[in-house]
Amino acid sequence: MTEIGKQGKFALSFRATELEARSGICAVAQELRLQGVSEETAGDIEIALAEAINNIVEHAYAGVEPGRIRVICSFQQSRLDIRISDKGVPLPAGELPKGAPAIITENKQDLPEGGFGWFLIRQLTSDIRYDRLNGHNRLSMGFDLT
Amino acid sequence: MSLTSTVTDHARIITVNADRIDAAMAIQFKEDMRTETEGGPDRVILDLSTVKFIDSSGLGAIVASMKQLEANRNLDLAGLTPVVDKVFRLTRMDTVFNLFPSLDDALAATADH
C-alpha cells in the first residue's frame, strides 16, 4: 500500500448529464485503481463519488441547462481528498443533509426506492464538508486509504 | 434491452446485460424488469453476477422491480459482486431480499421448497 502515498493529483470535468456523469465516475475509479488503491477501497470511493455526482445532476442542475462538474482528486500520504464543484443551486438550507438511514418497513410496498444517497456518502467517507463560494458548490470528501 | 430472461420449471431467471445499474440506466432497468417478469413462474431470480457497480438509483430500481410484482411472487437476487453486496448491506436491503452467492445456489434452493 506504500506506493499510494505519492503526492499525486488528478482532475477532470464533464457536463452534468447522466451519461457524462457515468463516464466521469468510471474514469476516476479507473485512475484510482491505476494509482494502486485497493479494489475494495476503490469500490467504496466509487459509490460515494457516484452518489455525490448524481445529486448534482439530479438536483443542483435540475430544470436548467446542465452545467459542468469538476472533480479534483488529491493523494496526501494515506489519504485521498476528492473535491467536487458545480455552479448549480445550493444544497437546501445551505448545508449537508443528515443522511439518516432509510427505513426498512415490514410491508414491501412501503419500502423506500430512494433517499439512500447521503447516508451512503456519510458511511463511506472519513470526513465531508460543503461550502458555497462565489456561486459554486464545493463538496470535499476524505477517504482513508490504509 | 438491458435484460435477458429464461424460464425453468420453478423460476424465471433474469440476467443483466450490463456491468452497471446506475442512474443513467435505472429507469430502463425498471421498465425492462416489468416486461421480463410479465407472467411465468412466481419465483423470479435476478442474476447480478455481471454487475460490478450499483448506485442508489440502481438499488431503488431493484426495489421498485420487486414492488411491481404481484403480491404472491418473489424476487430473489443471486451472484452479488463485492460493490453490489456492500450497497445492499449498508442500506440494510440485504434483509429484504433472499440473497444467494450464485445462480446455481439460488436454483438449488428451489429444490428445497
Q: Are B33 and B14 in contact (CB under 8 A)?
A: yes
Q: What is the pLDDT of residues B56-95, one digit of tens each?
A: 999 999 999 999 999 999 999 999 999 999 999 999 999 9
- The correct CATH number of B3-107 out of 3.40.50.300, 3.40.47.10, 3.30.450.20, 3.30.750.24 is 3.30.750.24
Q: For chain B, how big is the Rg over CA atoms in Å?
A: 13
Q: Which residues from B are below 8 Å from A54, CB to CB?
A: 22-23, 55-57
pLDDT of residue A146: 84
The pLDDT of B4-12, averaged and rounded, is: 94
Contacts of A78 (CB under 8 A, 6+ apart): A1, A4, A5, A144, A145, A146
pLDDT reading at B39 higher than 70: yes
pLDDT of residue A10: 95
Per-residue pLDDT of chain A (146 residues; tens, 9 = 90+): 334 445 589 999 999 999 999 999 999 999 999 999 999 999 999 999 999 999 999 999 999 999 999 999 999 989 999 999 999 999 999 999 999 999 999 999 999 999 999 999 999 999 999 999 999 999 999 999 98
- Report the distance separating Cα B53 and Cα A126, nearest Å: 21
pLDDT reading at B2 higher than 70: yes
The pLDDT of B83-108, averaged and rounded, is: 97
User: Domains in chain A and their CATH numbers?
Assistant: 2-144 (3.30.565.10)
Q: Left, alpha or beta for B110 (phi > 0: left; psi -120 to 50: alpha)?
A: alpha
Per-residue pLDDT band at B9 (split at 50, 70, 90):
confident
pLDDT of residue A1: 33
Q: For all residues of chain A together, what is the average pLDDT? A: 94
Across the interface, whether the CB atoms of A112 and B60 are under 8 A apart is answered yes
Angle made by CA atoms B53, A47, B83, in degrees to the nearest 5 = 45
Query: Percent of chain B having pLDDT more than 70?
Result: 96
Query: Percent of chain B having pLDDT more than 90?
Result: 93
The pLDDT of B14-32, averaged and rounded, is: 97
pLDDT of residue B111: 54
pLDDT of residue A4: 45
pLDDT of residue A137: 98
Across the interface, whether the CB atoms of B95 and A102 are under 8 A apart is answered no
Q: For all residues of chain B together, what is the average pLDDT? A: 95
Of the candidates B111, B93, B88, B107, the residue with the CA atom closest to the CA atom of residue B47: B107
- Which residue among A39, A111, A116 places its CB closest to the CB of B56? A116
Q: Are B62 and B2 in contact (CB under 8 A)?
A: no
Across the interface, whether the CB atoms of A39 and B82 are under 8 A apart is answered yes
Across the interface, whether the CB atoms of B56 and A114 are under 8 A apart is answered yes
